[in-house]
Amino acid sequence: MPTPTDLVTDLPADFEVFGQAVDTDFVDLLGGTTGQVLSKTSATDLDFTWVTAQVGDITGVTAGTGITGGGTSGTVTVTNDMATTITAAGDIVVGTGNGTYDNLPIGTTAQILTADTTVSPYKVKWASPAAAASGMTLITRQTFSAVTTTTTTFDGCFTSTYESYLVVAEKFFGSDANADIQFQLRYAGPATQATGYYGSTTEFGSAATFTDQSNANQFAMMLYTGTTNQPSPFNFYITMVGNGARNPGWNGGAMNGGINRPYFFGGSQLGAAREYTGLLFLAAAGTVSGTVAVYGLAKA
Amino acid sequence: MTTKTEMIEQLKAEYPTLKNGDDERGYQDLSAADYQATIEKWADAKLKREAAAEQAAIDKAALLAKLGMSQDDLKTLLS
């Protein structure tokens, strides 16, 4: 090819050289089919390839409900808005209307998620569960070993919360197998009511043995205690305690593990009308051991 | 027949110390006065029970004699 200052002496020949150079440089532009576009094959100048454009390329991203972000060009970011609505551990996302929602923070330990249409806008809330419906509530359960009496162990178990109580000795025995198992009522002071117990206890052996108790210093439930390996369980209901000055009454049964005889008993405290708030267990002689539970019976 | 003094000595030998309490709150030994009062109360209860048992046995033997029956006759009758 002649330079701009060359004297052109053979124009046809020069054009032929020029044409051959153009043909060589732009050879990649030859070919292709309808709809194809040029794509760079490498970084070299004029290095192209005809390629077919991909059909259906995304030309825009629009954020719908629950999504934020989007766009029509460049790198597009979309974010799950429900996820970012959660800001702390335990949060839950609650619907607040048609296509709307909000963050409901966690409640406190042991609360449960409860439907409540009066709460706006969530209609649900964290709430403490209602006390399980039960007719009987454990007030206290105590274990004692080789004591002269249980003294203050069962003080305060009778209150105005309940009207009647169930006393259950899961296990009970004494050091002197031939001694009565007894109880006495307790009241504020604290003090022990040591007179005025009336009632009877019946032991069923080969024949029934009836034991009357009149103005006794305590109430005897059994005429013999059990032993370590043959304890004497008993239970009784007691009422008219823990709510004003009254004369309590009780009835129950027992099973002497030592001599294998059942007992039935009933009695009342007629010596003094008081607000009795507890009771103690003892034996006529020797120490007592066992586990006793007191339950309150629901009024409604 | 055991005397009250003898019974008290027996009980003191069997129970050199006495305590009150429970597993949750712990146990406390009785004071000397409470210990003595408890031992005497237990002695009275045991003597009363012994006397009642002896009297019951005497009454039972007297009744059997009055009826002209033996202990074996009584067992047969109640069986």
B48-64 per-position pLDDT tens digit: 988 988 888 899 889 98
DSSP letter at B5?
H
Q: Which of residues 177-196 of A touch B (CB under 8 A)?
A: 178-180
The pLDDT assigned to A132 comes to 64
Tokens 């129950």 correspond to what residue? A252
Q: How far is the alpha carbon of B61 from chain A, nearest alpha carbon, in Å?
A: 18
The pLDDT assigned to A216 comes to 96
Task: Assess A176–B contact: CB distance below 8 Å, yes or no.
Answer: yes
- A278 contacts in chain B (CB < 8 Å): none
Give the pLDDT confidence of A97-117 residue by residue, as tens digits. 988 899 999 999 999 999 999
Give the pLDDT confidence of A122-173 residue by residue, as tens digits. 999 999 987 666 789 999 999 999 999 999 999 999 999 999 999 999 989 9
B18 has a pLDDT exceeding 90: yes
Q: Which of residues 273-292 of A touch B (CB under 8 A)?
A: 284-287
Considering only the beta carbons, identify the residue of A142, A152, A284 that sits closest to B45.
A284
Name beta bridge partners: A171.
Answer: A291
Q: Side-chain half-sphere of A161: how many Cα atoms within 13 Å?
A: 15
- Sign of the torsion angle spanned by Cα atoms A291, A165, A148, B44: negative
B25 has a pLDDT exceeding 90: yes
- B43 contacts in chain A (CB < 8 Å): 285
Separation CA A68–CA B5 (nearest Å) = 97
Inspect the interface and report whether the beta carbons of B45 and A285 lie closer than 8 Å.
yes
Q: Which two tokens stand for residue A68?
A: 């934020």
Tokens 């009522």 correspond to what residue? A185
C-alpha to C-alpha distances, A181 to A21, A94, A152, A230, A258, nearest whole angstrom: 126, 62, 18, 14, 13
Separation CA A226–CA A174 (nearest Å) = 6
A54 has a pLDDT exceeding 80: no
Determine contact, residues A258/A227, Cβ cutoff 8 Å.
yes
A1 has a pLDDT exceeding 70: no
Residue A270 CB burial class (10 angstroms; 0-12, 13-18, ≥19): middle
Q: Which two tokens stand for residue A135?
A: 């007719």
Separation CA B54–CA B47 (nearest Å) = 10
Task: Assess A142–B contact: CB distance below 8 Å, yes or no.
Answer: yes
B72 has a pLDDT exceeding 80: yes
Determine contact, residues A92/A82, Cβ cutoff 8 Å.
no
Mean pLDDT of chain B: 92
| Single-letter amino acid, residue A30 | L
Task: Say what percent of chain A tops pLDDT 90.
Answer: 56
ipTM of the complex, rounded to two decimals: 0.81
Considering only A54-63, A181-190, A265-274, B18-27, which range has the smallest mean pLDDT?
A: A54-63
Inspect the interface and report whether the beta carbons of B22 and A176 lie closer than 8 Å.
no
Number of Cβ within a 10 Å radius of residue B72: 8
Separation CA A183–CA A217 (nearest Å) = 10
Inspect the interface and report whether the beta carbons of A148 and B38 lie closer than 8 Å.
yes
A280 has a pLDDT exceeding 70: yes
Could you tell me the residue range of the domain that residue B30 belongs to?
Answer: 4-78
The total of structural domains in chain B comes to 1
Determine contact, residues A282/A172, Cβ cutoff 8 Å.
no
Inspect the interface and report whether the beta carbons of A148 and B78 lie closer than 8 Å.
no
Q: What are phi and psi of A252, to 5 degrees?
A: -175, -165
- Could you tell me the pTM of the whole model? 0.64
Q: What are phi and psi of B50, to 5 degrees?
A: -60, -45
| Single-letter amino acid, residue A49 | T
C-alpha to C-alpha distances, A160 to A45, A139, A176, A240, nearest whole angstrom: 100, 13, 37, 10
A284 has a pLDDT exceeding 90: yes
The pLDDT assigned to A56 comes to 66
Separation CA A151–CA B31 (nearest Å) = 14
Determine contact, residues A191/A256, Cβ cutoff 8 Å.
no
Give the pLDDT confidence of A179-233 residue by residue, as tens digits. 999 999 999 989 999 999 999 999 998 778 889 999 999 999 998 887 777 888 9
